Amino acid sequence: MRIAAFFYQGQPHAGLVSDDLQTVRLLDMSLADRELGALSLVVLLSRGEALPAQGAAVPLSEVQLRAPLPRPRRNIFCVGKNYHAHAKEFARSGFDSSAQAGGEIPAEPIIFSKVPECVIATGEAIEMPKVSTTIDYEAELAVVIGKGGKGISKAEAMQHVWGYTIVNDVTARDWQNRHMQWHMGKSFDTFCPMGPWLVSADEMDGTRTRVRCWVNGEERQNASTEDLIFDIPTLIETLSAGITLYPGDVIATGTPVGVGIGFKPPKYLTAGDVVRVEIDGIGVLENPVT
């Protein structure tokens, strides 16, 4: 199942994307629920209830995609330095305020968050802020929680995953370093492209998929989620140990090696760039930089 949020004929909607990715079928929902994108549907399905009645199928070419969760219910949980090679490239960059002597690979998951308001859709522009020129990209698989809970064990964790989407964890590196924590540099307006839709866990295996990123057609990142330092069950167990997770919560699982800061000299984003992220089983998230 692929759930998309979109505008059609000037109105917000949520619907089911066809297997051939050519059409999307409208779902009969209240305006309030449609404005939330896929969130209301994830909550509904997580309770074991049926989808709303299906309406007409319209060509995807005739709709404007929104982020599948246009405004997540709360901050997006994110994981820093969660691929071995990326942890090493970032620790050696001089911008990693979390690095300790000999501590390139974290012993425990590094958790931070991004504010819901920084989410944008595929096709929307990442805006260069006036206060930073060290803007970086980070292609990531994002987990969407279905069944909520607290104290979830690794053995049970995948039962709490509704599905997946793509996130680009855009970052102002200087702010990330200056503030000695990562929330500020990660949460600027437009710094969380998400999409193009949600894919249910029965459609793909997020523990074994490939994450790729291109900037202006140049491949920068290419890795498998099998290379995660802390896998999805570990992340869910860690987060839920003291925090109740709810349907629709988003966990961005970390980015592979190949971010801009890892190059010599760094390859930061500039106005006019186009960032394309592709994850097998989900699709493509593409955003211009302005």
Cβ(140)–Cβ(114) below 8 Å? no
pLDDT at 100: 52
Cα distance between residue 198 and residue 138, in whole Å: 19
Answer yes or no: is pLDDT of 102 > 50.
Answer: no
Assign domain 76-288 to its CATH architecture: Alpha-Beta Complex (3.90)
Average pLDDT value for the chain? 94
Answer yes or no: is pLDDT of 95 > 70.
Answer: no
Instruction: Find the mean pLDDT for residues 140-149.
Output: 98
pLDDT at 104: 78
Answer yes or no: is pLDDT of 229 > 90.
Answer: yes
Cross-strand partners of 113: 77
Which of 98-102, 108-112, 130-134 shows the lowest per-residue confidence on average (mean pLDDT)?
98-102
The domain locations on the chain are: 2-65, 76-288
The model's pLDDT over 4-17, given as tens digits with 9 standing for 90+, comes to: 999 999 999 999 99
pLDDT at 288: 98
The model's pLDDT over 246-289, given as tens digits with 9 standing for 90+, comes to: 999 999 999 999 999 999 999 999 999 999 999 999 999 999 99
DSSP 65-80: EPPSSSS-SSPEEEEE
Answer yes or no: is pLDDT of 27 > 50.
Answer: yes
**90 vs 241 pLDDT, higher one:** 241
Answer yes or no: is pLDDT of 29 > 70.
Answer: yes
DSSP the chain: -EEEEEEETTEEEEEEEPTTSSEEEEE---HHHHHTTTHHHHHHHHTTPPPPPEEEEEEGGGSEEPPSSSS-SSPEEEEES-BHHHHHHHHTTT--TT--TT-SS-SS-EEEEE-GGGEE-TTSPBPPPTT-S-EE--EEEEEEE-S-BSS--HHHHGGGEEEEEEEE--EEHHHHHHTTSSHHHH-STT-EEEEEEEEETTT--GGG-EEEEEETTEEEEEEEGGGBSS-HHHHHHHHHTTS-B-TT-EEE----S--GGGSSS-----TT-EEEEEETTTEEEEEEB-
pLDDT at 89: 72
Q: pLDDT class for 101, splitting at 50, 70, 90?
A: very low
Cα distance between residue 284 and residue 220, in whole Å: 15
Answer yes or no: is pLDDT of 106 > 90.
Answer: no
Calculate what percentage of the chain has a pLDDT beyond 70.
Answer: 94
User: Which residues lie closer than 8 Å to 110 by C-beta, 6 or more apart?
Assistant: 79, 80, 81, 82, 98
